[in-house]
Amino acid sequence: MRNSGFLPVNTADMGERGWSELDFLIISGDAYVDHPSFGAAIIARVLENLNYRVGIIAQPEWQNLEAFRIMGKPRLACLIAGGNLDSMVNHYTAARKKRSRDAYSPGGQTGLRPDRATIVYSNRVREALPGVPVIIGGIEASLRRFAHYDYWSNRVRRSLLLDSQAELLVYGMGEKPIAEIAGRLAAGENIQQIQGVAGTVVPWRKEPPEGAIVLPDYQQVQNDKLSYAEAFWVQYQQQDPVRGKILYQKHDREGVLQYPPASPLSRAEMDRIYALPYMGTYHPRYQEMGGVPAIEEVEFSIVSSRGCYGGCSFCALVFHQGRIVQSRSQASIIREAERLSRHPHFKGYIHDVGGPTANFRHPSCQQQLSRGTCPQRQCLFPHPCEKLDSDQSEYIDLLRRLRELPGIKKVFVRSGVRYDTILVDRKSDLLLELCQHHISGQLKVAPEHVSAAVLKYMGKPGKQVYENFVRRFQKINQKIEKKQYLIPYLMSSHPGSSLREAIELAEYVRDMRVNPEQVQDFIPTPGTLSTCMYYTELDPRTMEKVYVPKSLHEKAMQRALIQYRNPQNYELVKEALILAHREDLIGFGPRCLIKPWKIKSKSQDEQNSEQRASGRDRKKGKQCGRGQTKRKKTLPGMNKGHKHPTL
């Protein structure tokens, strides 16, 4: 089968293009999906557009060296990424249990990539393709580029650059750094000489250059949590392309040197990247395996922006895409929508138009592009900055233009919106536009919690802001005569949340009269402020002590409290309420969360026995009166025909 639209995955594909050798070999922990929502696809197409010969090995059988040799040695370098997710996040839940599904693998199959995929692939390449320069990238490399706390081994690990023994690490989205690196390699420069590229980290065996900030070294952050928090906070503050400085961290006899982040992409640059000839789907070889599940949500979605100035503590975007929002032009997005409308499987519905935050289409203020982001303050927390440009009229105009296109029945916004930004926008009414045209009965928002004690560590707005948004949402839907609902995303076990705060959230869930299915148990992923709090039990911004729920049992109780209506959670909820001395929430009153005892579900034998007894009663009933069964009395407060309420 000829797959010339896709990049080569074997020597037969190379032969069809007349290639005897690759310039770059990309190895990815994900299945090969040629869509711009997949980082490996973007980097591959960027290099192809620069006239380099690129091949892809997706999810190689890492125990077999021949799997890495199927396209021979590349001329310039091997590029390695663990996938769209950190491989440990991909494999394990917050309870450190194996996940049963991998959306980035064919058929959702698990086990097709190793734990710590970037390290394993790099070491395999060293054996299989000796002498080939190795460059690592992707989110796994981005978030683990310094000494970092690893939740799954519960220890501080070294920089991924050193553990993988790669020559170079590219962090962030990577298009600009990889283009510069490729040009210098093609010009004959040795990989060891490639230094000074923005958005990269290099091994460093000399004294750090003048002006570099020296972080506490690996031994210090491994042995002293205060040093870890100090090192993290410096890294966090310097994650800026305008004012960021070179950072150096020593690891035993060597160290790692990070150059400042790459500059944000302009709209013209974003447009060019998303106009490259992606196939828009997974490689045909996965068809018989059931395809790749991750494509389902993005195949008919449009990426409109990158970056986020929301600054949520538990989000890794600051260390990857950054706080400066970048976006595509309306013309570029409309051209993509027109292409989607001609797709043979397109049914008229664009699933999403957004990014990390759908309603962020421009930097939070004009100063960011010239001075960088503010090092000591957030754009939205604890209150929106007075300089915040919250005007969302351009996004509204984009949505209107999209839904007017021929063949487009509906344009959904599913990637989530920042409701606090919507509330401060006085120039437009995005919420009205969404309610009228762009949601299908439900709008997803992320208050995450309601306790002020937890929200301050999350970097999220207070409960009152969310309640104001709820009232506005309800008022708009009453006005337009639609029955639509908010779906709140909630998080359990975040630093700062004790059982008291978890119960406060459970009571709020009770009062909202919702039964939340979307509950995220906090996972300490590398590269987030919240993970630093989890490990050190310090807030790195203030160095104040933070309560952290660490035992898996307490985490299970906190999650169960949010979903207290689930009968399976009864024992955990009861235990939590007793431990917190909140027995007042156990009982029959309207404010109680659970009853004093668990209602046992009947076994199949008990159900069968009752059915047999019921059959005997019916037979006996025929002897009563005129052959009719006795009618049960209606209980007080019940209308005829109503079922008895469940106790």
Answer yes or no: do 344 and 429 share one domain: yes
Which among 202, 224, 259 is the end of a domain?
202
Is residue 287 in a domain?
no
Which phi-psi region, left, alpha or beta, contains residue 331 (left: φ > 0; alpha: ψ -120 to 50)?
A: alpha
Q: What is the pLDDT of residues 242-255, one digit of tens each?
A: 999 999 999 988 99
Answer yes or no: do 54 and 164 share one domain: yes
Binned at pLDDT 50, 70 and 90, residue 626 comes out as very low
Residue 355 has pLDDT above 80, yes or no: yes
Is residue 510 in a domain?
yes
Residue 456 has pLDDT above 90, yes or no: yes
Confidence (pLDDT) at 597: 86
Distance CA 152, CA 349 (A): 40
Binned at pLDDT 50, 70 and 90, residue 194 comes out as very high
Answer yes or no: do 565 and 446 share one domain: yes
Domain that holds residue 321: 300-440
**279-308 burial, b if ≥16 CB within 10 A, otherwise e?**
bbbbbebbeeeebbbbbeebbbbbbbbbbb
Answer yes or no: do 21 and 127 share one domain: yes
Answer yes or no: do 87 and 151 share one domain: yes
Which among 393, 420, 440 is the end of a domain?
440
Confidence (pLDDT) at 636: 31
Q: How many domains does the chain have?
A: 3
Is residue 170 in a domain?
yes
| Structure-token pair, residue 315 | 């989000």
Q: Does the reported pTM lie above 0.75?
A: yes
The DSSP element (H or E) to which 611 belongs, if any, is helix 604-621
Is residue 375 in a domain?
yes
Beta bridge partners of 202: 257
Is residue 32 in a domain?
yes
Answer yes or no: do 425 and 491 share one domain: no
CATH code: domain of residue 182: 3.40.50.280
Confidence (pLDDT) at 628: 39
Confidence (pLDDT) at 600: 63
DSSP-based helix, strand, coil % in the chain, nearest 5: 35, 15, 50
Percent of the chain with pLDDT over 90: 86
Percent of the chain with pLDDT over 70: 92
Binned at pLDDT 50, 70 and 90, residue 635 comes out as very low
Is residue 236 in a domain?
no
Answer yes or no: do 484 and 420 share one domain: no
Answer yes or no: do 38 and 185 share one domain: yes
DSSP SS3 for 281: strand
Answer yes or no: do 512 and 545 share one domain: yes
Is residue 83 in a domain?
yes
Is residue 97 in a domain?
yes
CATH code: domain of residue 376: 3.30.750.210
The DSSP element (H or E) to which 268 belongs, if any, is helix 267-274
Q: What is the pLDDT of residues 497-542, one digit of tens each?
A: 999 999 999 999 999 888 887 789 999 999 999 999 999 999 999 9
Confidence (pLDDT) at 484: 94
Answer yes or no: do 435 and 446 share one domain: no
Answer yes or no: do 102 and 182 share one domain: yes
Which among 176, 202, 228 is the end of a domain?
202
φ, ψ of residue 486 to 5 degrees: the values are -95, 135
Which DSSP letter does residue 285 get? G
Torsional sign, CA 205, 28, 144, 38 = positive
Confidence (pLDDT) at 647: 22
**Placement of tokens 């023994």 in the chain:** 165
Residue 160 CB coordination number (10 Å)? 27
Residue 185 has pLDDT above 60, yes or no: yes
Q: Which of 18, 133, 19, 116 is nearest to 76 (CA)?
A: 133
* Cα Rg of the chain (Å, integer): 28
| More confidently predicted of 2 and 417 | 417
Answer yes or no: do 422 and 456 share one domain: no
CATH code: domain of residue 487: 3.30.750.200
Confidence (pLDDT) at 454: 98
Q: What is the pLDDT of residues 287-339, one digit of tens each?
A: 999 999 999 999 999 999 999 999 999 999 999 999 999 999 999 999 999 99
Q: Regarding beta strands 410-411 and 155-157, do their DSSP bridges make them parallel or antiparallel, or are they unpaired?
A: unpaired
Q: Which of 56, 232, 245 is nearest to 146 (CA)?
A: 232
Check if the beta carbon of residue 428 is closer than 8 Å to that of residue 389: no
Least confident of 2-11, 172-181, 518-527: 2-11
